[in-house]
Structure 1
């Protein structure tokens, strides 16, 4: 539970109808509670006289000064940043800097939005948590990172580079227990899922407990895996309890409470459900609904010793089963208080090799039954990053990227989730590739339709191996690949399955969830992380504004777009069609009329 919420700063937010406050939450949890006891190493933390374990975390809250709709959304911070979800043009903030309101979608509808810190490894200035730290005997872990620019020495921990007005983030790392450890190893790969080559110990060294150097330098477009030992052990899983107890705190004053997470924070919500934590220590339901976007079938390093929540790309045991929704919710069902769940993924998660595992058999590919408490949607042709032209322009891509923005669809799906979780109104069925209707096929099948474009090498496509999620051998032991299925494409090269934005539906170009890295001699053509392609179709006329509007109105009829967002969706489609990188001679830009 939250014992105390100490507010540090309160200021007016947006047009004055809301206030933005920063606070420190003081948590006290019972290590013997059935849910709390799921947290790794919590039983080793010293308790107070009342038998409780205590820790603190940052909290940011946006609340209406008056009125409000009586509902609260817990928005899980992604890598320590705060952001107002579901808002157009919202810019992230930190612990001391409010996020921009954008079009303030949630605030205009009276929601309270809370953003609790949960991640132990974010730097000061971002939203984090002070997890209890254990001093343990040396244990083995790994650091895994991709090199983008040549460098002779680097930090052990992973980093997000800065740029475009956003600061870079260096995640805290585990210091090496012995910098001269002869059993520490370094491996290098030329593809993320490719075999690793052992680097002789004489060619690399620790320059400090948290830095490593390689003779001749680390090479760009290579992946490195460092395996070493540490005695530093934060109890990372208390971040899950921060979500639970902040949700319980919100329920005191709100008639409906939902949770929302994107990417890393969406995977955290899947872990939350897997651990059966949607029941507080008094036996009450925490969240009525959970919305996890682009989390795919994965969880993450959130609840084990030496967990590194900030890791960006490596394969980990937690990427193993359970994948499908029924298995993910099994423990929660045994405890009760199952929330309604909305899962959305871009085409990139499918092309990474794990998106379809949410709703298919991982060996045969057979369609699994619709879970009564879960809906799953593919947002056709979209990628993991969404609309971020300045960022995408910096990436070494073989094909032009696209700027598809799924936000309007997300708003409609949020409304479906609210109505389902709070009012019992059934949502639309899942929109996903299926074997039964012929829309689920292999990636190799789809790539045959794109011979003129740059395509990745088939033998280095990423995949999900058979993994034991309960063990952590380093280097990780990969089993047989799980079956990777994606949506079949139509005559325009666009995905048949899923929810199609107006630009995709009208088919002026092929919008994909994959894009190879720009070719480098001597290296395989791998998929570039998280980005899709926009491949022009010269034979197709650009759609008119009227055609785009009709495509948007069709989404409204199917409850995948709000009527108020028709013009937003049309405007975003027009912006996509005016892509300056496209060849103007291959299409006609729509005019101002219908």
Structure 2
């Protein structure tokens, strides 16, 4: 059952006077001038930590908060890091909060004079220089099932960690008896879980000692070693969970303090007192999922009933963040058995009859308290292929478009990988792999989304601060025939010699049963069934494509997409390791066009060559210049980004004499 609180004026006043959840102390550690160029507005960078306390009654929606240790005042304490870039002159009055992704983030001067703020929210990250972290209490004595999973592992010892990018230790087991846990192996995600006999493994470290090794609650030793061709899943009884859902409250309370407070409880001045008139939050990928959950769980209302964020941008955020759970792993990425897509996915109320979860929306709580922000949702192709976003558009039955309310804009970036190209240049051979990227069969997709995002973020700030509405939403819909099943025939995929087909490249959305204590719409509570039972596969749709294989229909295409050098894909093929031949994580691919008609005909490629499209290098540059100017006029591109793109086209080897 959803815990939605409908508050009237008297109740809001009571909350405001009770001061139940707030920042109690702010500790400024450094204040340093930011390097600037002549003529730029001066900035200072402020770093430090803050302390807060919470009422276990008011914030009862936080899983396990009732079992967290109390301070002398009966409240629950926590602390977190922060960093602020503050303009010393000509500030805009806008606080722009960037949610850190796995603790990563930095602040710097803003070209528009905004205050930039980041802070820690992920309590399972170990403190480290430059990392944004939170320190949250442990609910000692609580237990429950936990799950850890690993692929591509060799050797005899598995160190139990969770998440990607910055793996964190998994919670400790209640005891080291393998009979109280289960270890499975699996040949593929679609294969059944095969139990491994308890005599063949131990909670231990075999790196220097033969099996069963040195007893160790944080490691698994497997007799005979791990096979990198298999996946291994451990289910065990864990103890003493961190109360990680406090991360939502920590963000709420810091931003509320910076917006409204004069001093903390000890008389330390608020470094932004009187300077904040509007606030906007943006999160990308994992941190965008955080933004969705933050709004869904009602944290956009502070203790005094104020709206915390006036505007919100969940970017490339396909799910909710699995944070408010016992033994949560908030740093995951939509892999098998991982929660995230069970939570509410819709901005307007939708009846999730397929999964039997009632009617609800992400805005239910903030609508009840009149604290909803203006929302600008942005995402691209890989969020549909690799991160299971489709039901947010068409529901779990995929029969009709789910409408969006008036305070929401949705913009789709056709043919981009997760976050778009990280170099953003004009490329004939794709992006270079980023550190830690999976090994994919196709070159990485070089189609960018950042230039469009820069223009859109200015429109979001204007919407919040002046009321000037951004353009109507632009995204693929069933009503316009843009969305089809993820198969070559339905997509009208061209037969490109030697290229893979999209069939089988979808990361399917599975309907999991996590047990009766799991709150599905809120993605909260306690998982009691591990691994979860799989009840069904939820249908997913993707955009149809043109004769080049590039996505067509609704969206805000980049200049590169409109003046293409190849086929830009939201999917790719894993080249080696566990799952080879299937989806390559959430990396998009690129299939370049042939340079000349002769080359194209020799390959049997049905897509026109660069020569047939643009004639010459000058013709290509002219096409980029024309389309970039058009996008500037339409408001989808900033003039400086347009100039940069034209310069990159001029410097590129596309149809140049040197490339022939």
**TM-score interval for Structure 1 and Structure 2 normalised by the shorter chain:** 0.7 to 0.9
Quote the residue 1:302 is aligned against: 323
Shift of residue 461 of structure 1?
3.4
Equivalent-residue separation in structure 2 for 1:274 and 1:369 (angstroms): 17
Structure 1 or 2, whichever has the larger Rg, is 2
Shift of residue 56 of structure 1?
0.7
Secondary structure of residue in 1 paired with 2:460: helix
Q: Which moved more, 1:348-357 or 1:331-340?
A: 348-357
Is the counterpart of residue 531 in structure 1 residue 587 in structure 2? yes
Task: Output aligned runs, 1:109-508, within 5 Å.
Answer: 109-125=112-128, 126-147=131-152, 150-158=154-162, 160=164, 169-192=166-189, 195-207=192-204, 208-220=216-228, 222-252=230-260, 253-296=275-318, 298-314=319-335, 315-326=337-348, 327-352=361-386, 354-384=388-418, 386-388=420-422, 389-392=431-434, 395-444=438-487, 445-446=490-491, 448-455=493-500, 458-459=503-504, 461-467=506-512, 470=519, 472=527, 473-496=529-552, 497-508=554-565
Equivalent-residue separation in structure 2 for 1:590 and 1:108 (angstroms): 39
For 1:64, which of 84, 87, 102 is the aligned residue?
87
Quote the residue 1:91 is aligned against: none
State the Cα deviation string for residues 407-459 of structure 1 (Å, max 9, x = none).
11111111221122222222222222211111111111338435534436845
Q: Which moved more, 1:407-416 or 1:278-287?
A: 407-416
Cα separation, partners in 2 of 1:482 and 1:572, compared to 1, 3 Å = farther
Q: TM-score when scaled to structure 1?
A: 0.86
Equivalent-residue separation in structure 2 for 1:436 and 1:533 (angstroms): 28
**8 Å Cα contact 2:65/2:139 also seen in 1:** no
Cα separation, partners in 2 of 1:421 and 1:550, compared to 1, 3 Å = same
Is the counterpart of residue 554 in structure 1 residue 623 in structure 2? no
Shift of residue 285 of structure 1?
0.6
Is the counterpart of residue 30 in structure 1 residue 55 in structure 2? yes
Q: Which runs of 5+ in 1 are unaligned?
A: 85-100, 162-168, 579-586
Equivalent-residue separation in structure 2 for 1:590 and 1:346 (angstroms): 35
Equivalent-residue separation in structure 2 for 1:572 and 1:333 (angstroms): 46
Equivalent-residue separation in structure 2 for 1:377 and 1:574 (angstroms): 29
**8 Å Cα contact 2:179/2:198 also seen in 1:** yes
Equivalent-residue separation in structure 2 for 1:531 and 1:590 (angstroms): 32
Equivalent-residue separation in structure 2 for 1:379 and 1:457 (angstroms): 19
Paired positions, count: 550
Secondary structure of residue in 1 paired with 2:379: strand
Secondary structure of residue in 2 paired with 1:481: strand
**8 Å Cα contact 1:9/1:22 also seen in 2:** yes
Shift of residue 119 of structure 1?
0.5
Equivalent-residue separation in structure 1 for 2:584 and 2:368 (angstroms): 40
Cα separation, partners in 2 of 1:570 and 1:324, compared to 1, 3 Å = farther
**8 Å Cα contact 1:457/1:525 also seen in 2:** no
**8 Å Cα contact 1:492/1:507 also seen in 2:** no
CA RMSD of aligned residues (A): 2.5
Q: Which moved more, 1:310-319 or 1:198-207?
A: 310-319
**8 Å Cα contact 1:193/1:463 also seen in 2:** no
Q: Which moved more, 1:53-62 or 1:310-319?
A: 310-319
Cα separation, partners in 2 of 1:256 and 1:572, compared to 1, 3 Å = farther
Secondary structure of residue in 2 paired with 1:475: coil
Is the counterpart of residue 75 in structure 1 residue 98 in structure 2? yes
Equivalent-residue separation in structure 1 for 2:138 and 2:189 (angstroms): 32
**8 Å Cα contact 2:33/2:45 also seen in 1:** yes
Equivalent-residue separation in structure 2 for 1:193 and 1:295 (angstroms): 25
**8 Å Cα contact 2:388/2:507 also seen in 1:** no
Cα separation, partners in 2 of 1:571 and 1:466, compared to 1, 3 Å = farther
Is the counterpart of residue 12 in structure 1 residue 66 in structure 2? no
Shift of residue 505 of structure 1?
0.8
Shift of residue 193 of structure 1?
5.7
Cα separation, partners in 2 of 1:533 and 1:283, compared to 1, 3 Å = same
Quote the residue 1:516 is aligned against: 573
Q: Which moved more, 1:448-457 or 1:333-342?
A: 448-457
Secondary structure of residue in 1 paired with 2:537: coil
Cα separation, partners in 2 of 1:406 and 1:457, compared to 1, 3 Å = closer
Equivalent-residue separation in structure 1 for 2:64 and 2:657 (angstroms): 60
Quote the residue 2:617 is aligned against: none
Secondary structure of residue in 1 paired with 2:394: coil
Equivalent-residue separation in structure 2 for 1:330 and 1:193 (angstroms): 36
Equivalent-residue separation in structure 2 for 1:459 and 1:67 (angstroms): 53
State the Cα deviation string for residues 130-158 of structure 1 (Å, max 9, x = none).
101111243211112333x5332121113
Quote the residue 1:588 is aligned against: 655
